[in-house]
Every structure is written in structure tokens, then in C-alpha cells.
Amino acid sequence: MESHPDLHHLNERLGVDIDPGTLRLALTHRSFAFENGGIPTNERLEFLGDAVLQLVATESLFLDNPDLPEGRLAKMRSAVVNTRALAAIGRGLGIGEFIFLGKGEELTGGRDKDSILADTVESLIGATYIGCGPEDAFALVHRLVDDMLCDAVQLGAGMDYKTTLQEAAADLALGPVSYALDSRGPDHARVFTATVLLGDTEWGSGEGTSKKNAEARAAEAAVRTIAVQHPDYRR
């Protein structure tokens, strides 16, 4: 069996103490389970973690924004509780290196796929709920998403970062939005890099396994830069 990173390091990154068995289950992708005799997968924990994540994000937005209508709150929650945003969290924590993947997923870049990273973040939240209790699980969600919730409130959070960036760039007269694209690697594992330009100025960049994902991550980086440089702006 191939060597695998010490799962204790992942607990440290998350700031929790999930027991080894539950943590390993949370990291077991269905491709690995299939190749190893149909062992349990992380999908039940993912189901639980999604519910915990939705509750914490909803409660935070509801309590922190008493004057905002339901529709606006729902859009802001969607900007945070979605596959791309959760994948960015997982990527930032380096979760990909800990996932137990089947050989096929491994060969096609599964450790950096948005869907796999996002699902694993949710399963880790579920594992924390089961292994450490609701209080620790809620605290973990706050650590993971509070900054993004603040960005969502500040920038208005359209349904995606590209939309939000277009609106913010227009409102602040920062110039037209365009994307410069580059790529590297073989056709079956190509990685794209996108750089956001507002007028002639670079505002952020991002990588992905498709042009769409790279542009979305670049737009997110630009949105965060706008939040820092224009702290009083709010749609």
C-alpha cells in the first residue's frame, strides 16, 4: 500500500481532534472504497456535514444582518456554501494530499478536483460533529467560512464571483474586466492559469483544471482584493 500523510497533521490544520477511524472514513472517497472491496465511504459524513454547514452559515447571516431580506441572505449563502468556495477552503488547507483515492481518480488529478475537495470538506465537518460534538463542529465551520461570509456581506455576493466582480468593477469604475489565460501540462492533466485584468491592471489570479474554474478562482481573488482596497464598498 502506498504511503499516506500522517492524519494527525490534518487534525492540527483543522484545529480539532477527530479519532483516527472517523477521520480516515471522512477521507475515503468512493473510488478508493470500490477498489478495496466496497468498504464504507465518506458520503454519509458528507451528508451530515452539509447540513451542519448550511445551519451555521444561515444562522450567522441571519443574526449578523437583521435588515436584509430573505432573497439577499440566500444569495450570500449560495456564494459561500457551494462547490467552488468549499474546494478553495480544502485547497487552502491542503486536504487533497490526505484523501484516500482510487487509482483512476489519482491519475486524472482527483486530489485537486473541486467536487472531491468540496465533498471532503463537508465530510470532515460531519466527522467533527460525530467525533468531537456539535460545539467543536460549529466552531470549525466558523473558522472555515467566516471570512467568506464577511466578503459576501460586503460585496453583495451575486451567485458567483465573476458576477460579483463585474458589478463591483462597474460600481467602483475600476475598468472593464478581462481574463488572460495560460496553460501547462499534458492534455489529460492540463492546468489552466487565469489572471484578472481591470483595465490594464492585474487584480488576481487562479488555477484550475478547466478554463472556467481558473477564471472563477481568479475572480474570487480579485473580489477579495477589492474588499481590502475598498472596505467601504457594499452593494
Q: Per the annotation, does 46 bind a ligand?
A: yes
Establish how many alpha carbons lie within 13 A of residue 38's alpha carbon, considering only the half-sphere containing its beta carbon: 0
Predicted confidence at residue 1, as pLDDT, reads: 42
Which member of 64, 105, 106, 122 is catalytic? 122
Q: Per the annotation, does 202 bind a ligand?
A: no
Sign, Cα dihedral of 82, 94, 210, 175: positive
Per-residue pLDDT 10s for the chain (235 aa) are: 455 778 999 999 999 999 999 999 999 999 999 999 999 999 999 999 999 999 999 999 999 989 889 988 888 888 788 888 898 899 889 999 999 999 989 888 899 898 999 999 999 999 999 999 999 999 999 999 988 887 776 655 444 678 888 888 998 999 999 999 999 988 877 889 999 999 999 999 998 888 888 898 899 889 888 888 887 776 5
207 is catalytic: no
The pTM for the full model equals 0.73
187 is catalytic: no
Which member of 2, 6, 17, 50 is catalytic? 50
Tell me 166's DSSP state.
Answer: H
Predicted confidence at residue 155, as pLDDT, reads: 59
Cα-Cα-Cα-Cα torsion 173, 226, 94, 11, nearest 10 degrees, comes to -150
Q: Per the annotation, does 122 bind a ligand?
A: yes
Between CA 155 and CA 134 the distance in angstroms is 30
Kindly provide the b/e burial profile for residues 3-29, where b requires at least 16 CB atoms within 10 angstroms of the residue's own CB.
Answer: eeeeeeebbeebebebeeebbbbbbbb
Q: How far is CA 200 from the centre of its chain?
A: 29
